[in-house]
Amino acid sequence: MRIHWPRRIFAQVLTAQVAITTGVMVLTTGLFLAPLGSELDDQAMRRALSIAQTTAADPELARELVATEPDPRGPVQTGAERIRTATGALYVVVMDTRGVRWSHTNTGEIGRHVSTDPSRTLAGREVRQIDTGTLGRSARAKVPLRDGRGRIVGAVSVGIAYDSVRGRLLGTIPGLLRYAGAALAVGVLAAIAVSRRLRHRTHGVAFADISALLDEREAMLHSIREGVVACDRHGRIRLVNDEAARLLGLGAGAAGRVPDEVLPAGRTTEVLTGRVAGTDLLAVSGGRVLVANRVPTRDGGAVVTLRDRTELELLGRELDSTQGLLDALRAQDHEHANRLHTLRGLLELGRHEMAVEFVAQVAGAHRASAEQIAERVPDPLLSALLVGKAAVAAERGVSLRVSAATLLPATVVDPRDLVTVLGNLLDNALDAVGGHGRAEPFVEVDLRAEGSTAVLRVSDTGPGVPPALREEIFAEGWSTKAAPPAAAHRGRGIGLALVRRLAERYGGMARVTARAGGGAVFTVVLPEALAREDSAPGECPGAPGDSCTPLPATGGTT
């Protein structure tokens, strides 16, 4: 009959622990009994030696051995039997120098030669041994018998019955087995308790199932397109899948270390460490917009999931740009309708020359505004952004001005980054100015090239930024306003964080200061954002003495 090994973990552990406990107890009992037998043998030989030494120390025994003949009723036999009876020895044999017995338990052996060689004892040495004689196996000791002058006149041999030694040994076995059985029972109960706890923790699955689950978990974690970071209860990173390593820029040495050691300070690190709580938290890491969620585990650790929202954020900003363009077109349509009504009125009144002059004036203003932007900011994306934002600003009752010192060459390395920075700064400024209630609110843009470095400066007449908040406003998730319905697809508090991260990626900086007369000035420096050119930039095309040139809301379309 074939014995099947149990499949479930708790049953395997229980069986293994019971077998190990039983084997250990059997081995321990054997290891205990082996030295115990040797110790009992040694004790029996020591006892026999002690009796023999005591017997040989009697001076009368040596004189009687020399003075008499071997006799079952002689004084030597009588004294030896008295000692044997008193000590419980198997035998006490007294022999002369020829090895002839003068005493023996069996009187028929008196006068006969001893069965073992007495030469070593008669030579003056004491002997201890386990041996077999006429009375069977015994633990025996032999000592020389000396007279009053120290001469060896014989020997004394004392034996302890080996059956008594074995009996003592066997007598200890029941008690030893009781202790061993109690220890085995305790071990089995402990094994059952451990197995029950293990069954609870493993949900009764088998080893093969656990191995398959681990393989499936590894395959799943490293194949999903969502970052997963697991931390233990001490805050150390325990697991990082491939997507999380890519999103956070973590290497192979991140495991076993705390997030503060492997990640720069910021919202991402605060989410991983649990210092910031919440769901769907927005964070910026390495120029990427991430959505983070942290879920605690029962052992005190946590699992953090990260979703890359960079593409969605870019699409959202493109949607915002499209919305801004629609707002600009709506504003232009409204303004063009007013001008067409004016033109129709002039024609109906018969003032044809004034109508022609009005049309030429409007067309010239449009052309001059578009050409002015194209000359100062030749890059089509940036110039289109300025024109569109000017229309949005006009609809909000805000004047968008471009500084007369603005001059940015067309050799922009990555216009999309500059559009992101400038668009966020303009949106932030327009939001601040629109609700401040100044009589003539405006936003001023200053774009300059300093070698290969692009310097972007946006100032506004809004409420400004208190000194205590000038660093905090660049943190992810920080915002002073709720998201409007039109921007429901976007999270708030990401724009300025992206601006700073882009500046840091270029090796530059982003800061905010106070504007003279009230308001705020945002300055962003982007080194190496412009391609190097041999020729120096031309002079500002603005009119001499002008500080800036307003962009009318009716500027050209993109």
Could you tell me the domains of the chain?
9-168 (3.30.450.20), 224-307 (3.30.450.20), 312-550 (3.30.565.10)
pLDDT at site 331: 61
> Which pLDDT tens digit goes with each residue over 316-373?
666 665 665 666 666 666 666 776 777 777 777 777 778 777 676 666 545 545 567 7
pLDDT at site 209: 65
CA angle (135 as vertex; 129, 136 as ends), nearest 5: 60
Enter the tokens of residue 459: 């100032």
pLDDT at site 88: 85
Residue 194 to residue 10: CA distance in whole angstroms: 8
> Which pLDDT tens digit goes with each residue over 503-527?
888 888 999 999 988 889 999 999 8
Residue reference for tokens 């954020």: 313
Residue 490 backbone phi and psi in degrees, to 5: -115, 150
Q: Residue 428 to residues 204, 283, 481: CA-CA distances in angstroms?
A: 58, 19, 11
**506 close to 528: Cβ distance less than 8 angstroms:** yes
- Long-range CB pairs of 121-127, under 8 A, 24+ apart, other chains included: 121/155, 121/157, 122/97, 122/152, 122/154, 122/155, 124/152, 126/49, 126/52, 126/53
Query: CB-side exposure of 47: number of CA atoms within 13 Å?
Result: 21
**158 close to 52: Cβ distance less than 8 angstroms:** yes
Which residues are CB-contacts of 205 (< 8 A; sequence separation ≥ 6)?
8, 9, 213
Enter the tokens of residue 294: 């942290």
CA nearest to 374, candidates 420, 406, 398: 406
Positive or negative, the Cα torsion across 272, 278, 279, 283?
Answer: negative
Enter the tokens of residue 351: 């003032």
Which residues are CB-contacts of 81 (< 8 A; sequence separation ≥ 6)?
92, 103, 105
Positive or negative, the Cα torsion across 249, 255, 259, 262?
Answer: negative
pLDDT at site 205: 62
pLDDT at site 328: 61
CA nearest to 159, candidates 130, 121, 183, 192: 130
pLDDT at site 495: 78
Strands 509-514 and 453-460, by their bridges, are: unpaired
Residue 486 to residue 469: CA distance in whole angstroms: 27
**547 close to 404: Cβ distance less than 8 angstroms:** yes
Residue reference for tokens 């609809």: 395
What is the percent of the chain where pLDDT is above 70? Answer: 73
Residue 107 to residue 173: CA distance in whole angstroms: 37
Q: Residue 402 to residues 17, 35, 383: CA-CA distances in angstroms?
A: 83, 103, 11
Residue 312 to residue 331: CA distance in whole angstroms: 28
Amino acid at the residue 456: L
Enter the tokens of residue 235: 């805050």
pLDDT at site 482: 45
CA nearest to 461, candidates 519, 384, 523, 383: 519
526-556: b or e for each residue (b if 16 or more CB lie within 10 Å)? bbebbeeeeeeeeebebeeeeebbebbbbbb
**120 close to 137: Cβ distance less than 8 angstroms:** no
pLDDT in tens, the chain (558 residues): 455 555 566 566 667 777 777 777 777 766 666 666 677 778 888 888 999 888 888 888 888 888 888 888 888 888 888 998 888 888 899 998 888 988 988 888 888 888 888 888 888 899 888 777 766 777 889 999 888 888 898 999 998 876 655 555 556 667 667 777 787 777 778 777 777 776 666 665 655 666 667 777 777 777 777 888 889 988 888 888 888 888 888 877 788 888 888 888 777 788 888 888 777 777 777 667 788 888 888 888 899 888 887 766 666 666 665 665 666 666 666 666 776 777 777 777 777 778 777 676 666 545 545 567 777 888 888 888 887 788 778 778 888 888 888 888 768 888 888 888 888 899 888 888 876 666 788 899 999 988 888 999 999 988 888 988 888 888 766 665 544 443 433 445 677 888 888 888 888 899 999 998 888 999 999 988 887 654 344 343 333 334 444 544 433 333
CA nearest to 438, candidates 477, 399, 483, 411: 399
CA nearest to 279, candidates 473, 491, 479: 491
Residue 424 to residue 406: CA distance in whole angstroms: 19
> Which pLDDT tens digit goes with each residue over 197-237?
766 666 656 556 666 677 777 777 777 778 888 899 888 88
CA nearest to 533, candidates 374, 414, 411: 411
Strand locations in 212-346 (E)? 227-231, 237-240, 281-285, 288-296, 302-308
Residue 511 to residue 456: CA distance in whole angstroms: 11
Residue reference for tokens 């002997």: 127
CA nearest to 89, candidates 167, 161, 164: 161
Residue 203 to residue 32: CA distance in whole angstroms: 41
Residue 291 to residue 257: CA distance in whole angstroms: 23
pLDDT at site 456: 93
**233 close to 225: Cβ distance less than 8 angstroms:** no
Enter the tokens of residue 486: 């039109």
Residue 165 to residue 268: CA distance in whole angstroms: 79
